[in-house]
Amino acid sequence: MVESTEYIENTATPFYRRKWMLALIALGLLLVAAYKALPYYFSYLTSDVQFFEKEIAAFEEADKQNQPKPGRVLFTGSSSIRFWDSLQTDMRPLKVINRGFGGSMIHQVTYYADRIIAPYQPSAIVMYAGDNDIGNLITPRSAEQVVIDFDAFVKKVRTDNTDVPIIYIAIKPSTRRIKQWPEMKKVNNLIAARAKADAFTYFVDIATPMLNDDGKANDEYLLWDGLHMNEKGYALWTSLIRPVVVRALEEREKSSHSPGDKEL
């Protein structure tokens, strides 16, 4: 009987060892993922314009190896753009460049515009920002301030490219920031009004389709964190954003102020 018990214990030991090893490996992978994501989540605690210097420098270093051709549609803004891995495919046949970074706010995108927008001479600019401006944990901005920041961005990027179309993607609803949603809706409404008054500014309402029947954020478009987008969310965005970008380019082409060639 004793021998039988010892046999069971001895044969069971490798199983428990494997179980612990698998648990440790899983924990290690989780820690690596958390480490990589840490800068994005830490960015929600600061509005410092220089917080993303390393990311901007990385863009510049990549350009030294492979400089994008001018005239592409440039996507910029926060992590919803940064994590859009299928952007190139989703926007075909349009040629695009992704310059989204971290958990950026509008005024931070404006600060880096001379380095991540102007060098590419974009045929159109697509922006998703404002989400983190309202959702910042330490220094949240009001809807009115976000719109002021947006106006400053428009002024900045049109200094040399006077009629470049700017397509603003509405702030999305999310379960993580449900308390901030009323203020976010104010931003959407105010910038939508700006777009109606400016022939070269466009507003894409991706927010309404992302609400459920109760008027709350629909989880089926979001990742586990209740904030960022999943594949279904990006598919929805593609169906709504791409037609507006195409229309903006066509309208600029028809305009007497069109600068010329665009890469389509």
- End-to-end Cα, the chain, rounded Å: 79
Side by side, the strands of the sheet bearing 124-128 are 96-100, 73-77, 124-128, 166-169, 201-204
On whether the CB atoms of residues 102 and 47 are closer than 8 A, the answer is: no
Dist CA 18 CA 29 (whole Å): 16
The CATH class that applies to domain 48-254 reads alpha beta
Q: How many CA atoms lie within 13 A of 263 on its CB side?
A: 14
Residues 6+ apart with CB under 8 A from 242: 90, 91, 94
- The crossing angle, in degrees rounded to 10, of helices 181-197 and 143-157 is 40
pLDDT per residue, tens digit, the chain (264 aa), is 445 555 444 555 565 566 666 656 655 444 444 434 455 555 555 557 788 999 999 999 999 999 999 999 999 999 999 999 999 999 999 999 999 998 899 999 999 999 999 999 999 999 999 999 999 988 899 999 999 999 999 999 999 899 999 999 999 999 999 999 999 999 999 999 999 999 999 999 999 999 999 999 999 999 999 999 999 999 999 999 999 999 999 999 998 554 444 444
Cβ neighbour number for residue 173 with a 10 Å cutoff: 25
Question: What's CA 70's distance to the chain center, in Å?
Answer: 22
Question: What's CA 22's distance to the chain center, in Å?
Answer: 34
Task: Measure Cα distances from 1 to 11, 14, 156 in Å.
Answer: 15, 21, 84
Q: Domain residue spans in the chain?
A: 1-45, 48-254
